[in-house]
Structures are given as C-alpha cells and as structure tokens.
Amino acid sequence: MTQQLESPEHYKNGRFFNPSVPPQRFRKFLKWITHRRVGPWRNFIPSIPGEKPPAVVAGSDLRVTFANHATVLLQTESCNLITDPIWSDRASPVQWIGPKRHRDPGILFQDLPHIDCILISHNHYDHLDKTTLRRLLVRDRPTIFCPLGLRKLVGKLGFQEIYELDWWQDQPWRQLRLGCVPAQHFSARTPFDRNRSLWCGWVVECPTGDIYFAGDTGSGKHFAAIARRFQNLRLALLPIGAYQPEWFMGSIHMNPEQAVEAHATLGAGTAVGIHFGTFSLADDGETEATDRLHQVLGLAGNANAFWILSNGEGRNVPATDRGS
C-alpha cells in the first residue's frame, strides 16, 4: 500500500528536505573529510550474545531488547516488531569495504522470535540492510513500514505487505496503529539519489502507552510536535551517537545532551539510547557517547528513566501513569 504525498512542505522538485534546517554545503563535507580526528575504537569488542528473547509478550507488557546500533526488538500485545535491522558485518552495499562492525549483534539471528513487523526509518546502509531484510523475509514474511520513496526498493526484495507513509500519516495494523513522524536527517544510497526518499521516525500506538522510535535525527522542533500529538509515550528510542564534529553533524545527529532534552520534551516514561558503539560513522570514539550520556544523566538526576542497555540486553518497560 502506498500513501501519496499530501503536503509540499518537505518536498520540492523531486527531493525531500528538512523544512527548518538549511541544506549541508558540499564544502563543509570536504572540510570534515579532510580534517577528521576520529576518536579511539577497539578493532573488535568481544561480547557474549544476550539471552534469547521470549517468543511473544502478551497483553500490555512491553519488552525492549537492544541488538545494537539502531536495531531494537519491541514486544507487546502479542506482536514482535524490529527497528532498522542489520546483522551484516558491514553497513555498505558490498561486504569488502565500508563501515565494519566493531562488535557482533547482541542477539543471535537464530534466537530472534518470529518477526511480525519491520520499521525502517530511512535508506542509509546502517538502517536499511538488504541482506538482513531478505533473511527476515524468507524466515518470517513480515509486514514492513517505510517512509515515502522506499516502496520500490523493499518491494524488489519480495515484501508483499508494505506500508509507505509520509510524515503524520498513520496506518492501523493488527491491534496497533503505526504513525510516521518527522525526523531531521537526509537519505542517500548512491551519489545520485540524495534525498529522493524520505526519512522519518515511527510511533507505535498501543492501548497502554505508545512507543517512539526516532530513527536518525538531529535536535529540532519536531520533538515538541510529536509530544503534542502523542501525549502518552511509554518508551522513546533516541539516538545518542555519531555526532562529532558537532559543527558538521549537529543538524542530522543529536548529541547526548540533546537526547536528554528530547526525552524531557517528549514526556516519555522511559528512554533508551541507540545508535552508538557498533559502527564508527563519525568522529566520536567508541565510548564517548555513553560516557557523555552518563555524565549528563548524573547531573540531571534522571538516570533511572534513561536507559543505556548493554549489547543484547532486554528489559521490561514500566507502564506510564497515563497508560496504566
């Protein structure tokens, strides 16, 4: 199913754009790429896979399991959803060059429960991995939700039940409702298709509190807009990494302080940090995002409400007062 673009506010002349942020200039990219100072990463980070997730979580219980990067397993209302799944060794069109994993996925692929639904935030290789999508398709035949411009790509992989949405559109699915919400980012898989497809976050509306997956995003007014529309957020998955240097990355990736501010703006009961510690995509080092987040959470005094899950860790998310 395809829903057509309703508003031109973020689309012009065949390309999408961020309404409140000027486009990046190529000279800024050249300045960054020729003056990079990448923080330290271990070549490979040994880790033990997390426990096998339950096959299903029934009723109003909500379980979140962090595979790593932006891949998160969400289980509630007898539905298993997964965000931006990637089990490949590299975030790249080929597996001999490109950003390589510094740690294994926190969940063994064979330990994944049956996946009912996939949420794709945008088309970058670390968020839309064809190999992983094909594996899930063959095994589980899941539904897939994607932003505008990606139906053709995922359709070619063989997916049958596809919902392609614009910002602020939503779609009932089983006993839930899934909404596409704004993000502040960009899209590209080649030098020739920049911003030809949309980028987004997702809100999963549940009877006892909603789930927000931010995808990739910079800090912006969209968080307040999302909070106004969804006033019962139980869980927010917020990116905290790939933000250095901030003069270049700041418009498309949040730093940890901005993630904490976003959590407060959204009013979510619990937040979980994502998009860190797996792929070296910017200049922040392996532990810089989590170290900085721990520091700001200590100063803010709300560490119990903003979780940093270890590789493969799963936790039950408490209900909000409004959702209970």
Burial class (CB in 10 A: 0-12, 13-18, 19+), 271: buried
Q: What is the CATH number of domain 42-316?
A: 3.60.15.10
d(CA 187, CA 98): 17
When pLDDT is averaged across residues 166-193 and rounded to a whole number, the result is 97
pLDDT at 2: 44
Mean pLDDT of the chain: 94
Average pLDDT over residues 6-14: 80
Confidence at residue 27, expressed as pLDDT on a 0 to 100 scale? 76
Residue 7 has pLDDT above 90, yes or no: no
pTM: predicted TM-score of the whole model, two decimal places: 0.95
pLDDT digits (tens, 9 = 90+) for 271-319: 999 999 999 999 999 999 999 999 999 876 666 799 999 999 999 999 9
pLDDT at 1: 45
> Does residue 261 contact residue 236 with C-beta atoms inside 8 Å?
no
74: alpha, beta or left? (left if phi > 0; alpha if psi -120 to 50): beta
Query: Strand, coil or helix: what is 270?
Result: strand
pLDDT value at 154 more than 80: yes
